[in-house]
């Protein structure tokens, strides 16, 4: 309840304002004084700069609830920007909980991209687009750049399209239109960079398309060139809130500054130690500039961490201390005691995945001397998405439910992309890239030659490919089977296009119609490859996904923007995601696998950006550890297969930066040790062994384990058993194989054994993967 003192401030105010101010605000009681100050300072600029888990997002959400409760702003007058769609959804839920009712009608809560796409649709014509423009994904972008490069007779092998794509992205992140690219960049891409950028933008306009960078760039341009429009939005968005401010790039920063410059009601929260998107143009300097841009800003610092236990917090602080040039913050927590950070070394990545799988099941049961954890409470955070495969494989094998967040997405699958291309052409007939994708899928007898003719006709007449195809048919530039099929396709497209938004045909029916009448569904029905049934399932799933959208366009937009592929959740699941995707999230138990130099810190990042790259990696480590509330488990493997190649590795240098007093070293159980599972020649094995066991991190683990009276890991004792393994086996012997389970040897042939497995049937396997059943410790 507002106190009478606070009411005094309303003397002379209207009755309605006083009534609004008298509404209960119980949520304020859940805040500490610093948070409360940030929430109650509703007007004017506020910067909340604080470490992980100190309640920045909580304060931000409460501020939104407070703006609504006190009647300062209506839901549609609040612009609140978060980093991912998932975070936006969560924020909406949190506001709803604070208000005690669902937070309805908050159209401007979302990511920079999702908000800008909505704005740009309203003003597309100001940058030469139509309001139904398409959003290209990276693949389409690269394909278009390839065409641009080819058209300019540049050798794509020497000057790859991907390189140009990243150059242009960088420029767009800095809000540079082609005209604004500074002279200092003139030598980029063999001195052709700026010119190709300009040409690319022209092509995008012709295709009525934008790439991701354009969403912000175009909006900044519109605001800068049209003060009347900017003013309209300044009035409209009366309050602006930004989470994860440390990761905004220059274009995003300019966009925010333009919108906030009139009323200055902007509240940004962030943590310089969690800036992890430097590689995408994020400028941590934006935080430091805030006080300059908004003089008199209220700066709030928070120091109490409410998320993690002391051991976890101290471990994270110990690692981040290695970075220079920090603003420097000391965090504290009330949560003393609990588990130390757990550290474990494995032989290889498969073993690491196996161990984590079993550990998750054990923790679920409440083994390990801890409380039982629900699957939803546990997450695996990886540095690189290729690490996920091992976990996915393993979890599928043992039937452990999991979800991949932000990983290989459903919408990136071939059949889904094809289907979406059909939808795109129907909604936006100028979308040449989509047209190109579907014109001969399924096969319509329109090979390269025919497609080239379409391209030329379109170019000569300055029309879209679809219209080019129409003209070509009219002029009889194409004949035979192809002509008939093309005519039929155009007829279909026109008819489907006419049904977009029709009253009597829902967009779901339309989608089904498109897939069936185009022959696309039949194409997979007639396909005899093992993948075909799965693809048909996916197509069904796609149509199902349409149900939660009002129309095809809304759906296409959603997919273009989607950042995570959280599937419909029935039942608890372990989450797997990258460290980048985990920003802002929290889980009771977190696994951090793959802490090996080269993988984490990532070699590429260090090669490309040197010390700066290493420091960004260290911030990622800090983000990772601080996601954990109660249990944080860090692991590494001595060997790893990266893109099909075995590589031996040293434990991550970050491991040695963990403060010893807050770390427990675990010993892998025997089953995971040894030549067991190590698909290597023994020379490599020994090399890896020498490497890993001589590394300081490993030695330290050994001595710590020794101190605690724990025996040495098994692998250091029986690492090279494989040489003797063959002669050790006899037919009739009962053995165990890591993948196929128990079985009996029925034949021996060199180093290969024929084994009748109890579950998997008879198989030939290499002897070194086999263990005598008696040796299995459980």
List the catalytic residues. Answer: 56-57, 243-244, 274, 627
Which of the choices ligand ATP, Mg ion, none does residue 646 contact, using the CB cut-off of 5 to 8 A by kind?
Answer: none
Which listed residue (214, 247, 271, 359) binds ligand ATP by CB under 6 A? 271
By C-beta, is 67 or 514 nearer to ligand ATP? 67
Which listed option, ligand ATP, Mg ion, none, makes contact with residue 578 (CB within 5 to 8 Å by class)? none
Distance (Å) of CA 243 to CA 58, 189, 196, 332: 10, 35, 35, 22
Q: How far is the CB of 31 from ligand ATP (least distance, A)?
A: 5
Which lies closer to ligand ATP via its Cβ, residue 34 or residue 599?
Answer: 34
CB nearer to ligand ATP: pick between 483 and 589: 589
Q: How many residues sit in the footprint of ligand ATP (CB under 6 A)? A: 18
Please say which residue, 28 or 663, places its beta carbon nearer to ligand ATP.
Answer: 28
Q: Which one among 25, 57, 194, 323 touches ligand ATP, defined by CB under 6 A?
A: 57
Question: Do 77 and 64 touch, CB atoms closer than 8 A?
Answer: no
CA angle 654, 660, 665 (to 5 degrees): 85
CB atoms within 10 A of CB 654: 27
Q: Return the exposure string of 372-390: e unless at least 16 CB atoms fall within 10 Å of the residue's CB, then b.
A: ebebbbbbbbbbebbbbeb
Name which of residues 276 to 295 contact Mg ion (CB under 5 A).
none
Closest residue to Mg ion, based on beta-carbon distance: 57
Cβ proximity to Mg ion, 39 vs 254, nearer residue: 39
Choose the stretch contacting ligand ATP; rule: CB under 6 A; options: 21-29, 30-38, 119-127, 527-535: 30-38
- Residue 584: both structure tokens together: 């802002």
What does DSSP assign to residue 339?
Answer: P
**Region for residue 498 given its phi and psi (left: phi exceeds 0; alpha: psi -120 to 50; beta: otherwise):** alpha
58: contact with ligand ATP by CB under 6 A: yes
Q: In this chain, which stretch among 51-59, 186-194, 633-641, 763-771 interacts with ligand ATP, using CB under 6 A?
A: 51-59
Q: How many residues line the site for Mg ion (CB under 5 A)?
A: 3
Distance CA 626, CA 57 (A): 14
Instruction: Kindly report the three-state secondary structure assignment for every residue of 530-590.
Output: CCHHHHHHHHHHHHHHHHHCCCHHHHHHHHHHCCCCCCCCCCCCEEEEECHHHCCCCEEEE
Pick from 7, 10, 22, 32 the residue near ligand ATP by CB under 6 A.
Answer: 32
Find the shortest distance in angstroms from Cβ 276 to Mg ion. 13
Report the 10 Å Cβ neighbour count for 229: 16
Does 31 sit near ligand ATP (CB under 6 A)? yes
**Which string of DSSP letters, residue by residue, matches 362-424?**
HHHHT-TTS----GGGEEEEESSGGGHHHHHHHHHHHT--EEEESSS-GGGSHHHHHHHHHHH
- Annotate each residue in 611-630 with x if it binds ligand ATP (CB under 6 A) or - if it does not, as one string: ---------------x----
State how beta strands 734-737 and 770-772 pair: antiparallel
CB of 246 to ligand ATP, least distance (A): 9
> In 3D, which of 404, 464, 394 has the Cα closest to residue 435?
464
Site for ligand ATP contains 53 (CB under 6 A)? yes
Of positions 306, 411, 646, 742, contacts ligand ATP by CB under 6 A = 306
| Whole-number Å distance between alpha carbons of 25 and 746 | 75
272 sits near ligand ATP (criterion: CB under 6 A): no
Which stretch in 47-55, 157-165, 170-178, 568-576 sits in contact with ligand ATP by CB under 6 A? Answer: 47-55
How far apart are alpha carbons 688 and 381 in whole angstroms?
Answer: 25
Question: Of 726, 654, 648, 719, nearest to 687 (Cα)?
Answer: 648
Give the shortest CB-299-to-ligand ATP separation in angstroms: 15
Task: Please report whether residue 52 would count as binding ligand ATP according to CB under 6 A.
Answer: yes
Among residues 56 and 470, whose Cβ is nearest to Mg ion?
Answer: 56
Of 57, 234, 464, 633, the one binding Mg ion (CB under 5 A) is 57
Q: Which of residues 543-582 bind ligand ATP (CB under 6 A)?
A: none
Q: Kindly state the smallest distance separating residue 269's Cβ from ligand ATP, in Å.
A: 7
d(Cα 48, Cα 327) in Å, to the nearest integer? 13
- Residue 52 interacting partner from Mg ion, ligand ATP, none (CB closer than 5 to 8 Å by kind): ligand ATP
CA distance 488 to 482: 10
Select the span of 42-50, 448-456, 581-589, 703-711 touching Mg ion (CB under 5 A): 581-589
Cα distances from 302 to residues 159, 306, 325, in angstroms, run 48, 11, 20
| Run of H or E residues at 68 | helix 56-69
Decide whether 314 or 535 has the Cβ nearer to ligand ATP: 314
- Which of ligand ATP, Mg ion, none lies near 111, with the C-beta cut-off 5 to 8 A by kind? none
Asked whether the beta carbons of 533 and 507 are under 8 A apart, the reply is no
Dihedral (Cα; 754, 756, 759, 763), 10-degree rounding: 20
Please report, as residue ranges, which positions from 731 to 760 form the binding site for ligand ATP (by CB under 6 A): none
Of residues 301 and 558, the one with the C-beta less far from ligand ATP: 301
Minimum separation from the CB atom of position 319 to Mg ion (A):
19
- Selected binder of ligand ATP within 54, 85, 134, 333 (CB under 6 A): 54
Neighbours of 352 (CB within 10 A): 27
Structure tokens at 746: 């029925």
Nearest to 378 by CA among 389, 367, 364, 388: 364
User: Which segment (53-61, 204-212, 232-240, 275-283) binds ligand ATP by CB under 6 A?
Assistant: 53-61
Nearest Cα to Cα of residue 625 among 184, 217, 318, 175: 318
CB of 62 to ligand ATP, least distance (A): 9
Instruction: Out of 56, 86, 113, 768, point to the residue binding ligand ATP (CB under 6 A).
Output: 56
Nearest distance in Å: CB 331, ligand ATP: 10
Q: Rounded to the nearest 10 degrees, how much is the dihedral formed by the CA atoms of 395, 397, 399, 400?
A: -10
Assess 307 for contact with ligand ATP (CB under 6 A). Answer: yes
The whole-angstrom separation of Cα 765 and Cα 744 is 12
Q: Are 657 and 319 in contact (CB under 8 A)?
A: yes
The answer to whether residue 584 forms part of the interface with Mg ion (CB under 5 A) is yes
Give the range of 49-57, 642-650, 652-660, 689-697 binding ligand ATP by CB under 6 A: 49-57
Task: Single out the segment in contact with Mg ion by CB under 5 A; choices: 566-574, 579-587, 589-597, 607-615.
Answer: 579-587
Q: How is residue 438 written in tokens?
A: 């579907």
Whichever of 53 and 673 has its CB closer to ligand ATP, that residue is 53
Nearer to Mg ion by Cβ, of 215 and 282: the residue is 282
Give the nearer residue to ligand ATP in terms of CB position, either 300 or 735. Answer: 300
**Cα-Cα-Cα-Cα dihedral of 552, 553, 557, 558, to 10°?**
-30
* Selected range binding Mg ion among 56-64, 86-94, 194-202, 215-223, rule: CB under 5 A: 56-64
584 near ligand ATP (CB under 6 A): yes
Please choose, out of 27-35, 321-329, 340-348, 770-778, the segment that lies near ligand ATP by the rule CB under 6 A. 27-35
Instruction: Decide the pairing of beta strands 761-766 and 752-757.
Output: antiparallel
Of 221-260, binders to Mg ion (CB under 5 A) are: none
Measured CA to CA, the distance from residue 430 to residue 464 in angstroms comes to 5
How far is the C-alpha of 136 from the C-alpha of 218, rounded, in Å? 15
How far is Cα 688 from Cα 603, in angstroms, rounded to an integer? 18
Site string for Mg ion, 645-684 (x = CB under 5 A): ----------------------------------------
Residues near ligand ATP (CB under 6 A) are 30-32, 35, 52-58, 271, 274, 306-307, 584, 586, 626
Residues near Mg ion (CB under 5 A) are 56-57, 584
């Amino acid at each position: 309840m507002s106190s009478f003192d606070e009411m005094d401030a309303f003397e002379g105010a209207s009755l309605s304002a006083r009534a609004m101010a008298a509404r209960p605000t119980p949520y304020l009681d859940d805040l500490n004084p610093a948070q409360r100050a940030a929430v109650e300072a509703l007007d004017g600029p506020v910067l909340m700069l604080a470490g992980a888990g100190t309640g920045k997002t909580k304060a931000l959400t409460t501020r939104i609830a407070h703006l609504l409760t006190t009647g300062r702003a209506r839901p549609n007058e609040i612009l609140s920007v978060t980093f991912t769609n998932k975070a936006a959804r969560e924020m909406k839920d949190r506001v709803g909980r604070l208000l005690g009712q669902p937070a309805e009608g908050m159209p401007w809560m979302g990511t920079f991209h999702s908000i800008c796409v909505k704005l740009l649709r309203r003003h597309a014509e100001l940058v030469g687009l139509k309001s139904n423009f398409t959003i290209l994904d990276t693949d389409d972008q690269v394909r278009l750049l390839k065409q641009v490069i080819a058209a300019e007779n540049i050798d794509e092998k020497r000057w790859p399209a991907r390189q140009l794509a990243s150059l242009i992205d960088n420029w767009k992140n800095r809000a540079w239109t082609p005209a604004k690219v500074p002279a200092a960049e003139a030598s980029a891409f063999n001195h052709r960079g700026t010119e190709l950028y300009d040409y690319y933008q022209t092509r995008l306009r012709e295709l009525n398309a934008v790439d991701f960078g354009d969403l912000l760039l175009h909006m900044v341009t519109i605001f800068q060139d049209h003060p009347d429009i900017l003013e309209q939005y300044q009035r409209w968005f009366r309050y602006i809130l930004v989470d994860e401010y440390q990761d905004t790039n220059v274009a995003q920063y300019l966009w925010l500054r333009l919108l906030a410059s009139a009323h200055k009601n902007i509240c940004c929260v962030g943590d310089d130690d969690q800036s992890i998107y430097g590689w995408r143009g994020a400028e941590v300097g934006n935080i430091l500039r805030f006080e300059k841009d908004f003089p008199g800003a209220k700066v709030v610092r928070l120091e109490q961490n409410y998320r993690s236990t002391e051991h976890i917090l101290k471990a994270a602080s110990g690692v981040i201390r290695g970075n220079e040039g920090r603003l420097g913050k000391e965090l504290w927590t009330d949560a003393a005691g609990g588990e130390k950070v757990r550290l474990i070394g494995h032989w290889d990545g498969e073993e690491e995945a196996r161990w984590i799988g079993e550990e998750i099941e054990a923790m679920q049961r409440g083994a390990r001397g801890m409380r039982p954890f629900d699957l939803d409470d546990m997450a695996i955070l990886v540095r690189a998405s290729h690490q996920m495969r091992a976990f996915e494989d393993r979890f599928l094998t043992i039937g452990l439910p999991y979800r991949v967040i932000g990983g290989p997405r459903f919408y990136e699958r071939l059949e889904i992309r094809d289907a979406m291309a059909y939808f795109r052409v129907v909604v936006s007939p100028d979308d040449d890239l989509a047209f190109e994708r579907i014109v001969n899928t399924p096969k319509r007898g329109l090979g390269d030659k025919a497609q080239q003719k379409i391209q030329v006709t379109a170019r000569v007449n300055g029309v879209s490919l679809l219209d080019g195809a129409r003209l070509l048919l009219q002029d009889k530039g194409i004949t035979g089977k192809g002509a008939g099929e093309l005519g039929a396709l155009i007829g279909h497209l026109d008819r489907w296009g006419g049904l977009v938004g029709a009253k009597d045909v829902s967009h779901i029916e339309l989608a089904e119609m498109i897939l069936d009448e185009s022959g696309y569904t039949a194409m997979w029905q007639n396909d005899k490859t093992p993948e075909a049934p799965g693809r048909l399932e996916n197509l069904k799933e796609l149509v199902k996904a349409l149900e939660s959208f009002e129309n095809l366009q809304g759906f296409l937009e959603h997919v273009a923007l989607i950042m995570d592929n959280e599937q419909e959740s029935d039942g608890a699941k372990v989450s797997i995601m990258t460290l980048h995707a985990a920003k802002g999230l929290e889980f009771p138990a977190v696994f951090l696998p793959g802490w090996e130099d080269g993988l984490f810190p990532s070699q590429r990042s260090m090669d490309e950006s040197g010390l700066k790259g290493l420091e960004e990696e260290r911030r990622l480590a800090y983000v990772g550890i601080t996601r954990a509330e109660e249990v944080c488990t860090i692991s590494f493997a001595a060997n790893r297969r990266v893109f099909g190649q075995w590589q031996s590795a040293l434990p991550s240098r970050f491991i040695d930066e963990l403060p010893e007093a807050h770390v427990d070293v675990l010993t892998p159980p025997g089953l995971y040790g040894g030549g067991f599972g190590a698909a290597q020649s023994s020379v490599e094995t020994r090399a890896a062994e020498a490497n890993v066991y001589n590394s300081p991190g490993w030695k330290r683990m050994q001595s710590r384990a020794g101190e605690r009276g724990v025996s040495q890991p098994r692998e250091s004792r029986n690492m090279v058993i494989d040489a003797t393994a063959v002669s050790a086996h006899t037919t009739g012997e009962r053995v165990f194989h890591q993948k196929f389970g128990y079985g009996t040897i029925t034949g021996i042939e060199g180093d290969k054994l024929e084994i009748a497995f109890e579950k998997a049937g008879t198989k030939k396997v290499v002897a070194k993967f086999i263990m005598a059943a008696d040796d299995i410790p459980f």
